[in-house]
Amino acid sequence: MDAAEILARYDVEIRSAPPLAVGIERVWVDGVWRGSDGDRSFIDWWEFPAQRATEIARREAAFFAGRELEWKVYSHDRPPGLEAALAAAGFVGEAPETFLVLDLERSSPPYDPPAGIEVRDVRDKSGVVDLEAVSAAAFGRDEPWRFEALMARLDDPTQSLFVAYDAGRPVSSGRLELAPGKAFAGLWGGGTVPASRGRGVYRALVAARAAEARRRGHRYLTVDAQETSRPILQRLGFQPLATMRGWTLNAAE
């Protein structure tokens, strides 16, 4: 896998020309894509020279004051000095994550769930309730805004939600973001409740989403992985291509 080639294609197809999605609004403002889902705001792409980094970082911090904002910076991004400018403008850097890619034409994780585990593609309110319950238990935080965001997109073909059940009890969940006509699909929010970890449930959840992405015609499957999931994903064939760090503004500050 040519890392530079894949990263360049990802930037062109997904970041600089983001696909339309229900409930997601984006506007291009003087070198920056501003995005929002109604509760959270984000910046995923920008184009400006190094000499404007300080000015634009301060401008965005002022514009989003009082709201939650994440500015995602990958290790291959430009301009140089951007992260220093974000820090100086009051953004707080989160722990780095690893950007991994799986070429679905070359390999795909086998779907081999543990005994008693069933992975479902959920499409109703009860499924979203189960997904959110798992997410809160897996990550130790309750994010009520996300329930409404997911419900608003239940009929959105660019999103698929998956929940793994153990004898009918939800124990793992995650979503799959799909961009019609693009080479890339993305894994997001995958997690397993503590009592069910170490059994292969998370691997089954990844395999089910990979199979759906391949069925929908996508060549690559991407994920920004925390250190807890990176080794598992690499064993499933994902390759690390870059690091990613979120820079956030807290609405409470």
103-243 CATH: 3.40.630.30
So what's the pLDDT on residue 252?
Answer: 53
So what's the pLDDT on residue 37?
Answer: 83
Query: Tens digits of per-residue pLDDT, 23-49?
Result: 889 999 999 999 998 778 999 999 999
Dihedral angle of Cα 81, 84, 85, 87, to the nearest 10 degrees: 160
Residue 13 · residue 220 · CB < 8 Å: no
How is residue 124 annotated by DSSP?
S
Q: Indicate yes or no: pTM above 0.85.
A: yes
Domain boundaries, the chain: 3-96+245-249, 103-243
Query: Tens digits of per-residue pLDDT, 60-95?
Result: 999 999 889 999 999 999 999 999 999 999 999 999
Residue 76 · residue 7 · CB < 8 Å: yes
Query: Tens digits of per-residue pLDDT, 192-248?
Result: 999 999 999 999 999 999 999 999 999 999 999 999 999 999 999 999 999 999 999
Which residue is it, tokens 């979503």? Answer: 175
Q: Domain 3-96+245-249 belongs to what topology? A: Aminopeptidase (3.40.630)
Residue 95 · residue 218 · CB < 8 Å: no
